[in-house]
Amino acid sequence: MIFESHAHILAKQFDQDRNEVIQRALENGIRAVLNVSDDMETSKKAVIYANENSQIFSSVGIHPHNGNDFKEEDLDILKKLALEQKTLAIGEIGLDYYYDFCEKNKQKDVFTKQLELAKQMDMPVIIHDRDAHKDTIDILSSFGKNINGVMHCYSGSAESSKILLNLGLYISFTGVITFKNASKSIEALKAIPLDRILLETDCPYMSPEPFRGTRNEPRNLVYIARKMAEVKQISYEKLLENLWDNSFNLFKKAAKYKQALEI
């Protein structure tokens, strides 16, 4: 059983065949999919979509790319959406200094406000950090142990993963670990304890080998998990068992659905 911890199922890339994509995921052992939002519109849609599909859960939040759209009153709307039963996390939120879509101070402000919301609601966060490691760590550290969450699509070193682990965060890996030039990610994966790792596609992006460069989808988690088992030197079954439990340990609101998902 596999828990897809980060997929953008409502992305336009899936408009033609969304149901088939979900069906293929189920046929390949993906029993739960956390559909991650990146703005107010996808957040609202994600909640509705989760309510309509038993294996789908939602996260709500504003991605750093969309920081300029943020309005103070969005926090109240996000709060209401976060209270919904199948909303498991606030995200994805964070900092992205690679693209220049939103000014840095504005990004920090929107990130901090959503972390405050997560803290207030005692919900985990899904963190996006691209070329903004120092500021991301500084902001997260200012919350101490009051924030639970996952660093999604981890691209850092084994060394810097220690800081995240000390903050109590989980670390999530994508198909990047299957790439030929992935030695840094592989070293990080080796160093991170099994009980703090999550699995994600970040689809429709980041297809693992042998599909690199094509549209990604949740069933490709199988390829990422195989590589992960090899790196961690444990059986595929044992790996999946651990990651399945990790997902429910972090996304606590999913716990009441666990038994039903396992049947």
Residues near Ni ion (CB under 5 A): 202
Q: Least distance in Å: CB of 86 to Ni ion?
A: 18
Query: Which one-letter amino acid corresponds to residue 193?
Result: P
Answer for the pair 220, 206: CB distance below 8 angstroms, yes or no: no
Q: Which two tokens stand for residue 239?
A: 């790996």
Q: Least distance in Å: CB of 93 to Ni ion?
A: 11
Q: Least distance in Å: CB of 241 to Ni ion?
A: 25
Q: Least distance in Å: CB of 23 to Ni ion?
A: 22
* Residue closer to Ni ion (CB basis): 133 or 258: 133
* Residue closer to Ni ion (CB basis): 18 or 258: 18
- CA 233, 236, 238, 242 dihedral sign is positive
- Partners of 199 in the beta sheet? 173
* Residue closer to Ni ion (CB basis): 63 or 86: 63
Contacts of 16 (CB under 8 A, 6+ apart): none
* Residue closer to Ni ion (CB basis): 74 or 96: 96
Contacts of 72 (CB under 8 A, 6+ apart): none
Q: Which two tokens stand for residue 258?
A: 């666990």
Q: Least distance in Å: CB of 92 to Ni ion?
A: 5
Q: Which two tokens stand for residue 71?
A: 């309005």
Q: Least distance in Å: CB of 202 to Ni ion?
A: 5
* Residue closer to Ni ion (CB basis): 142 or 151: 151
Answer for the pair 235, 223: CB distance below 8 angstroms, yes or no: no
* Residue closer to Ni ion (CB basis): 41 or 76: 41
- Catalogue the E-assigned strands of the chain: 2-7, 30-35, 56-60, 87-96, 125-130, 149-151, 170-173, 197-199
Q: How far apart are CA 203 and CA 215, in angstroms?
A: 7
Q: Is the peptide bond before 210 cis (omega within 30 degrees of 0)?
A: yes
**Neighbour-count burial of 59, counting CB atoms closer than 10 A to its CB (0-12 exposed, 13-18 middle, 19+ buried):** buried
Q: Least distance in Å: CB of 153 to Ni ion?
A: 7
* Residue closer to Ni ion (CB basis): 44 or 258: 44
User: What is the SS3 assignment for 129?
Assistant: strand
